[in-house]
Amino acid sequence: MDEKGEKMTNVLVINSSVRSDDSISRALTTLLADRIAADVHEITHRDLTGDIHLISAQSLSAVAKSPEQRSSEERALASLADTFIEELEWADYLIIGSPMYNFGPAASLKAWADLVARSKRTFTYTDAGPVGLLKIKKAFVVAVTGGTAVDSNIDFMTPWLKHFLTFIGISNIETITADGIYGKHGEENIRCAKEKIAGLSI
Ligand SMILES: Cc1cc2nc3c(=O)[nH]c(=O)nc-3n(C[C@H](O)[C@H](O)[C@H](O)COP(=O)(O)O)c2cc1C
């Protein structure tokens, strides 16, 4: 609350499923956002299946320059990464919907990570090693798979995502898992994820 007694908490919800209405990760991130909405000032939704681009030599060179030094072409190239980083700097809480594709994250989520990992903005190197610079209080990772067990030795999504979030400064991470949704326990696993969300607060 600020001095006027108004809520100050900002939440960023990121989705990366290529599915829409039938996406379980989208349904669960929506449920979680609704669950905490009463305690939140503002929620921003970022859908990574929109116009995300991959990093390139040109985009890396553009973001390495200060905004004043960038040409108009470089400004355009840097603008999406700048926006993604500003969203993270604005957020107090982060919700990420992460469907598993080929044992890892969606390509768009990896592309997002490549764009937001920026020295002196989201992380920095010190004599003691890398230090994350984001001030996000907590991240909720909603991990959804068709058959692969989350945290098994062939899950290259959840450990990677948690490590990356820690790298950029977010160490308080809660995972909500709906794995093996096409298996015989699929419906039950989705129901358990919903139950967990119903008991969550920020
Ligand atoms: C291209 C592709 C690759 C997939 N690879 C895996 C996989 O490696 N392991 C797995 O358990 N499920 C895999 N799945 C299934 C998805 O994880 C599953 O459909 C999940 O529900 C996707 O999340 P969503 O419901 O939010 O779309 C894959 C699906 C697609 C489309």
Beta carbon of 90 within 6 Å of any ligand 1 atom: no
* H-helix or E-strand spanning residue 193: helix 186-198
Mutual angle of helices 24-36 and 186-198, in 10-degree steps: 20
Given a contact cutoff of 8 angstroms between Cβ atoms, the answer to whether 191 and 41 are in contact is: no
Count of helix runs (H) and strand runs (E) in the chain: 6, 7
Domains of the chain with CATH codes: 10-198 (3.40.50.360)
Mean predicted lDDT score pLDDT of the chain: 95
Beta carbon of 27 within 6 Å of any ligand 1 atom: no
pLDDT at residue 202, as a whole number: 87
Beta carbon of 67 within 6 Å of any ligand 1 atom: no
The residue whose CA has the least distance to atom 1 of ligand 1 is 101
pLDDT at residue 100, as a whole number: 98
Q: Output the pTM of the full model.
A: 0.96
Successive 10-residue mean pLDDT values, the chain, 202 residues: 72 98 98 94 96 94 95 95 97 98 98 97 96 98 98 98 98 98 98 97 88
Beta carbon of 146 within 6 Å of any ligand 1 atom: yes
Which residues does 79 contact at the CB level (< 8 Å), separation at least 6?
none
C-alpha distances in angstroms, 35 versus 29, 87, 127?
10, 21, 41
Best residue among 20, 48, 101, 154 to mutate for probing ligand 1, ranked by most atoms within 8 Å of CB? 101
